[in-house]
Amino acid sequence: MGKWVTVQIVGVALFVIGIQGAIRVLVDHSNRGLVSWIPSGFGGALTADVVLVVVGSALAWLGDVRRRETADEQ
């Protein structure tokens, strides 16, 4: 398993955690889950979850593109 596959896996994990957290915050504003340490309440928790989704998407995309480039070179 190459490093780009690892990057892709980490990206997908962050994406899933962010989506799950955002849905949780939207359904129950008092249950902020993983981002409960952020002091800014509902808005801060939702923003942090959205950032996790964006970063996870970017990492998963980058890992996939680089993995395909590496496979084409071999």
Tens digit of each residue's pLDDT (9 = 90 or more) over 21-69: 999 999 988 888 888 888 888 888 899 999 999 999 999 999 999 999 8
The pLDDT of residue 32 is 80
CA 38 to mean position of chain CA atoms: 17
DSSP element (H, E) containing 48: helix 41-73
Cβ 17 vs Cβ 56: under 8 Å:
yes
pTM higher than the cut 0.85: yes
